[in-house]
Structure formats: C-alpha cells, structure tokens
Amino acid sequence: MREGETKKDKRRKYMSKDSYFKNGFKSVREEVKQDMEEQFESETVGELKSNDHVIVRDNVEVHLAKDFGFCWGVERSIAMAYEARTHFPDKKLHITNELIHNPQVNGKLQDMEVNFVPKTGGPDGGKDFSGVSDGDVVILPAFGASIEEMELFDSKNVEVVDTTCPWVSKVWNTVDMHQRRGLTSIIHGKYAHEETVATASFCETYLIVKDMGEAEYVAKYIAEGGDREEFMKKFEKAMSKDFDPDKHLVKLGLANQTTMYKKETRAIGQLFQKAQLNKYGPVDVASHYMEFDTICDATQERQDAIHDLVNNKEELGLDFILVVGGWDSSNTQHLLEIPLNAGLRAFHINEGECIGADNTITHRAMNGDVVKEEFMGRGMVRMGVTSGASTPDRAVQDALDRIFLLKKVNPELQ
C-alpha cells in the first residue's frame, strides 16, 4: 500500500471500476422481484400478520414474533445475486461463499448454475479460486469478502457483483477509523465466520473475542498482565499477525460481527471501557477506548421480538418456541439462546423436513449437536415461532404446515 493508504482506501479504489457492480441491475429488477415473491412469500405467514400474529389451526395455537425472517440486507443480497444471473445469462458465475446461511436460497443459486468457490479444507478457511477465469462474474455474499480476495479479483479480468450488507460495510468503516487512530480493533465475533474474516482483513491490528469469557480474560490481562505465552496460544487463530498483548492492548476500539447477541456485545464494550478507565483514568480514557454502535438493527429487532414472546410465556401458555433458520446462521443461533436461557423449551430447525411424521423433531442444540426427539403432546399445543434474518417466510410455512398436519392425523396427539 502507498504511505497513508488504508485498506478501506484500497477497497474504494476497486469499487470505483466499471467492472464492479454494487447497486444491482435495474433492467431486470422487476422480473427478479416477481420471482422472489413466488419463491419466498407465504399465505400462512400473511394470515398470521393480519391476525395480530396469532392463529389457531388443528389444535395448534401459533404466536409469531413481531419481527422475524428476512431482513432488508438479506433481501437485497438475494435480489442482486438473482439479477446478476439474469443480467449475465451467458457468463460463468461464481460466488465466494454461501450467499446467506440458508439452504433453500443457496440451493436455488446452484440450480441457477452459480458455482460456489470450493474451500481447501485448511484451518485458515482458504478457498480454491483456480476455477475463476478471465471474463467470469464473481458474486460477493452478504457477509462480504476479505481485502485479499478483492485484490485477487482486481488482478483478474472478472466482473464483480458486490452484495455485501450495508451494515457489514458500516463495521468496516468503524475498524478503518480504529486503524487511522492507531487503535487495536477488538472484534466480538467468531474468528472463522465469513463476516468476521472479512472485517479482520481490513484491520492492521485486531483481536477477536467470541464471548464474555474471552473478553474477561483479556480485560484481566490488561489490568494485571499475565502469561504471555498462554495468551498467544489461546488466541492464536483470532489475532493479527505479530500481535503482542503487551503492546497492542493499550488503545482499543470495539467492533462486532453484526449477528452477535446484542446484550453481550454491549457488556463486552462496558468491560473494556472499565478496564481502560481503571488503568488510565477518566481524563485519558477517551484516547484509550473507542466504541460505535455497529449492532445491526435487524438483529436487534429480532432479538427484542423473541424476548417479548419469552417474557409473556406464562400469559400465552407457550409449550415451546420453534426457531427456523440455517444451522450455520449465527443470528438464528442467538435467537435460540434467548428462550433456552429463560427455561423455555425451544427447537432450532433449518427446514420443514425436520418435523417428522412420527412426532419427532430434528434440531440443532446450543452445543452444535443435531439431535432428534419427540416434541408434541396431546391436546392443544401453544407455540411461539420466529425465524432468522436469512430465512424466507415459505420455510416457516413449511414447518407450520407439517405441525398442523401432524396434529390433525396422528391419533396419539388428539
């Protein structure tokens, strides 16, 4: 890089080229919009919305969260990917990762002959771009792409369709500000998550903490020092090259993976602010800690909505909450945490087929295990339902329809 040039400056340079598309393709927009409506909209969800988010059918009472499902950033990303396929009908299209964490959407892209760049299987999450040739089109997913990938595409004669969610770009702007001010970016996220990989690539110096436990470990090191070798081992996959905890924890800025649990991000921010305040005092703390709100509105709204269901669980008489969304979806996993932490049964499924005709449900537990168990009893069942930001309404309908049918035809559940 030129002296004084940041990684954000490099990204802006790539984005300014005629071969870089970041606003979709207006000429095919209406056609794609109709296709998405046919593929994703749901009569059942529409009925729930028009009835104050409650319906009763076949001895099942369903309470739908007030905010759920597709966020505008996901819808935008899908629309741009579909538009790209329509706009470039004769070109070979590639996507650098799953567009979003939803099996139905990614399956549709495969049906449209969009090639998913294969992963090399290494611990660094590398990818094999050897199949990308001059003249091809490369789609960047909603999570974004690393600066190294952007450099690679810039060196090739390819066209790039950038569907990165604007909220993710906002985080990148924040870490760029950290770097310009000589701060280490503390990223609350999962080091192997596509979004966090991209965010970290825009930092010169960073440390990734996945939860409050890791944040407390770092805060204690700031306050008391500690075993440097142990620190380096603990965060070996979650820190920038040449990171030194005795040097790079002096000035900090907080950023986050947009899909993380909002309360935990805020608590981590307060923890680091307090650590710097105690070490450097109230007069100088502003030069040692910086924080901007980079929590995605859609993530926050969906978490607030399921909190509302959980807080009214006794009044509503909820037996369980069904959470629909990709098993790799971080924002959906955090929706599951909320009812489970409140002592309410909850099941995270990735598609309707997880509901078995034998009254079993195949679901992903909080520890990541996929398990199968019976889930409904006799008589009236009262359930809450929500879905992740990458989940179409049609997936929710499919799950509910299977539950309605199961209650209707299984005599053991009458």
- Whole-number pLDDT of residue 412: 86
The pLDDT of residue 161: 98
Among the listed residues 125, 120, 121, 156, the one whose alpha carbon sits nearest the alpha carbon of residue 138 = 156
The residues, any chain, with a CB within 8 Å of residue 241's CB and separated by 6 or more, are none
Return the pLDDT at 4.
Answer: 64
**Splitting the chain (414 residues) into consecutive groups of 10 residues, what average pLDDT does each group show?**
74 92 95 94 96 97 97 95 96 95 91 94 76 96 93 93 95 94 96 94 96 98 96 98 97 94 91 97 94 83 96 97 94 95 97 96 96 94 96 97 95 85
Query: Which helix or strand (DSSP H or E) is residue 162 part of?
Result: strand 159-162
> 372-377: long-range contacts (C-beta < 8 A, 24 or more apart)?
375/320, 375/345, 375/347, 376/319, 376/403, 376/406, 376/407, 376/413, 377/319, 377/413
Which residue among 83, 149, 159, 195 is the active-site one?
Answer: 195
Domains, the chain, in order of start with CATH, read 7-33+74-165 (3.40.50.11270), 41-71+298-413 (3.40.1010.20), 171-295 (3.40.1010.20)
Provide the whole-model pTM.
0.89
Q: Measured between alpha carbons, how far is 176 from 181 in angstroms, rounded to an integer?
A: 9
Hey, what amino acid is at 185? S
What is the Cα–Cα distance from 248 to 185, expressed in whole angstroms? 9
| Rg of the Cα atoms in the chain | 23
Asked about 195 being catalytic, the answer comes back as: yes
Cβ(98)–Cβ(141) below 8 Å: yes
Helix spans in 65-209 (H): 72-87, 103-111, 147-155, 166-180, 194-201
DSSP character at residue 117:
P
What integer pLDDT is reported at residue 413 of this predicted model? 87
Q: What is the dihedral of CA 381, 387, 391, 396, to 10 degrees?
A: 10
Q: How far apart are CA 162 and CA 144, in angstroms?
A: 8
